[in-house]
Amino acid sequence: MKIASIGSGHIGGTLGKRWAAHGHEVMFGSRDPRGERMTDLLAEAGPNARAGTVREAAAFGEAILLAVRPEHVEQALAEAGDLSGRILINCINRYDGASAEAEVRRLAPGARIVRAFHTLPWEVLAEPRYEAGRATAFLYGDDPSATAAVAGLAADIGLDAVDVGSPEAMAKTEAANGALWSVLGPRFGRTYSLQVLRR
Ligand SMILES: NC(=O)c1ccc[n+]([C@@H]2O[C@H](COP(=O)([O-])OP(=O)(O)OC[C@H]3O[C@@H](n4cnc5c(N)ncnc54)[C@H](OP(=O)(O)O)[C@@H]3O)[C@@H](O)[C@H]2O)c1
């Protein structure tokens, strides 16, 4: 699949490298696509990755990961242009009480938005396999084919994808995940993970 990552930091860089390593074509959309940091990232990501402007990456991607800090969301989506009908993966977390979900919906009207990769730290996305199983990535999108595509992208890099089924369920999942993070993070560090065992 052709995947764009708007943002090439911890999350965009990690996911982009992993998808490229698994045979997807990746384009990082950057404010500085020829800069030294991007050159280093492309060297690590290998031949399936390239870089361009945010607009070029948005035009390239069948799926577009938005992986900028919350304060840059508005600018990045403005640079991306019209994303109607496109798969847009929203991993943004805000800690100021505002809803990242609502903001991205407002700024990218008509996009097929899937909320995903936001319940795990980048260190787990970099290596989601544990001796006991695979880290669960909770996701939700209201377009079934977009959600299935993103679940496939999660599975490709070793995650256990669980579609929680509704925006209300995702809000509860995020609250529970945040509460557990405050308990388990200080104890086990950023690389602990949860897996939903099921029969
Ligand atoms: N870190 C985590 O473990 C984690 C986990 C879950 C969710 N998240 C969410 O993921 C998002 C990204 O976090 P991160 O840790 O990856 O941040 P980060 O390491 O600071 O990376 C942010 C990236 O965004 C780029 N950027 C900023 N403005 C841009 C613009 N207008 N156009 C294109 N690129 C732009 C930056 O590029 P420059 O080099 O040009 O500044 C940088 O590559 C955040 O919203 C965060 O809430 C993070």
Q: What confidence score (pLDDT) does residue 97 get? A: 87
User: Which ligand 1 atom is the nearest neighbour of the CA of 10?
Assistant: 16
Instruction: Find all residues with CB under 8 Å of 56, minimum gap 6, and list them.
Output: 27, 29
CA angle 189, 96, 74 (to 5 degrees): 105
Query: What CATH number corresponds to the domain at position 16?
Result: 3.40.50.720
Interval between CA 172 and ligand 1 midpoint (Å): 24
- Give the integer Cα–Cα distance in Å for 74 and 71: 7
Q: Judge whether 194 lies within some domain.
A: no
**pLDDT mean values, one per 10 residues, the chain (199 residues):** 98 98 98 98 98 98 98 98 98 93 96 98 98 97 98 98 97 97 98 96
Q: Judge whether 6 lies within some domain.
A: yes
Q: What confidence score (pLDDT) does residue 158 get? A: 98
Of the candidates 89, 82, 83, which has an alpha carbon nearest to the alpha carbon of residue 15?
89
Name the residue at shortest CA distance from atom 35 of ligand 1.
7
Interval between CA 13 and ligand 1 midpoint (Å): 9
Instruction: Find all residues with CB under 8 Å of 55, minimum gap 6, and list them.
Output: 29, 79, 80, 81
Q: Judge whether 195 lies within some domain.
A: no
Q: What confidence score (pLDDT) does residue 102 get? A: 94
Q: Judge whether 59 lies within some domain.
A: yes
Q: What confidence score (pLDDT) does residue 79 get? A: 98
Q: Judge whether 196 lies within some domain.
A: no
Structure tokens at 13: 């860089």
What are the distances in angstroms from CA 25 to CA 48, 132, 185? Answer: 5, 31, 34
Name the residue at shortest CA distance from atom 6 of ligand 1.
118
Interval between CA 199 and ligand 1 midpoint (Å): 36
Interval between CA 159 and ligand 1 midpoint (Å): 21
Q: Judge whether 193 lies within some domain.
A: no
Q: What confidence score (pLDDT) does residue 39 get? A: 98
Instruction: Find all residues with CB under 8 Å of 188, minimum gap 6, and list them.
Output: none
Number of domains in the chain: 1
User: Which ligand 1 atom is the nearest neighbour of the CA of 92?
Assistant: 45
Q: Judge whether 154 lies within some domain.
A: yes
Give me the sign of the Cα torsion angle 33, 37, 40, 41. Answer: negative
Domain extent at residue 25: 2-188
Pocket of ligand 1 (CB under 6 A): 6-12, 29-32, 54, 67-70, 72, 75-76, 79, 91-93, 118, 121-122
What are the distances in angstroms from CA 34 to CA 38, 39, 54? Answer: 6, 7, 13
Q: Judge whether 25 lies within some domain.
A: yes
